[in-house]
Amino acid sequence: MRTALVTGSAGFIGFHLSRLLLDQGWRVVGVDSHNDYYDPALKSAREAWLTPHPQFRALRGTVETPGLLAGLFAAERPDAVIHLAAQAGVRHSIDNPGAYVRANLLGTFELLEAARAHPPAHLLLASTSSVYGANTAMPYRETDKADTQMSFYAATKKSTEAMAHSYAHLFGLPVTMLRFFTVYGPWGRPDMAPWLFTRAILDGSPIRVFNHGAMQRDFTYVADLVQGVARLIDAVPGGVPVGDFDSLSPVAPFRVVNIGNGAPVQLTDFIAAIETATGRTAIRDLQPMQPGDVPATWADTTLLTALTGQSPRTPVTTGVAAYVRWFVAHYGG
């Protein structure tokens, strides 16, 4: 039985990924700080679904704690490591940049040092579509230059890509950076638009619609996303190059992969899907663009499809319906 170490296992994506890996017969060791960036009760509720599984072990801890991950790697010798623990959120990073330095930069450094001492077969780290920053050429392709981040959150994530590349090169560590595109679905984050919109629409409160609704996001359904991550575990970089995608690094077993739906959706259509699923009409409070935000994201998923044989496809009408069903069941409407 193979062991996967999942950091951020009580988080939105980490929870879904851990469940999938357990279903697939992995042993999963999860680490999470359960911090209060958003309601920790949601993190505990997610973890409560995992802990009864005999092959799941949870550790409560902060990844940047010196030596914590090194000790865990030494004890568990994971075959695959999926690093999702991070301070996420574009807007929060404007007022709280220090939290991003600690969790994202120091946390990733601790992870890389642990992997250097006890190398797993494959190290996969969460990055974000936000690293494409001010790029306007669509869809975003992994080989595009991505050097103009618009938020400090994105800047820390881009930095983790550079840090991981150097360790991949120096120590021969196979590394895949996962650029996730706006993930939504059951158990989703309360700081993200799908949760905020659904809560407000059910309550009859106004929703704040930024850039007057002229926004596009490549919304990705969480079940599709974690399927992609799980399939990528066995697509270890360093073998036969995939087209020009593996030209990103001439010196290291290092790869960057977009995980998105490959189909941008207008924010207004996403809101309409929530209206349909709730049977309520949204009260729209149109607002200007928020600092740090980008007007559109769109993933080129050619590489993901080449590596895994599939890519996310769930349409927002289907995904939002499932999300709203969960929301009403979990929060009582």
Catalytic residue status for 140? no
- DSSP 8-state code for residue 103: I
* Nearest residue (CB) to ligand NAD, 107 versus 174: 107
- Is the separation of the CB atoms in 146 and 183 below 8 Å? no
* Nearest residue (CB) to ligand NAD, 235 versus 259: 259
Q: Catalytic residue among 100, 153, 167, 184, which? A: 153
* Nearest residue (CB) to ligand NAD, 85 versus 150: 85
Q: Which of 85, 69, 112 is nearest to 15 (CA)?
A: 85
Whole-Å CA distances, 160 to 24, 79, 250, 306: 29, 21, 18, 25
Amino acid at residue number 159: S
Closest-by-Cβ residue to ligand NAD is 11
Q: How far is the CB of 111 from ligand NAD (least distance, A)?
A: 10
Residues within the interface to ligand NAD (CB under 6 A): 8, 10-14, 32-35, 43, 62-64, 84-88, 103, 107, 126, 128, 180, 182-183, 189
Q: How far is the CB of 31 from ligand NAD (least distance, A)?
A: 6
Cα 236-130-306 angle, rounded to 5 deg? 30
- Is the separation of the CB atoms in 274 and 197 below 8 Å? yes
Amino acid at residue number 59: L
- DSSP 8-state code for residue 220: E
CA pair distance 78, 120, nearest whole angstrom: 6
* Nearest residue (CB) to ligand NAD, 11 versus 319: 11
Q: How far is the CB of 59 from ligand NAD (least distance, A)?
A: 10
Q: How far is the CB of 222 from ligand NAD (least distance, A)?
A: 8
List the catalytic residues.
153
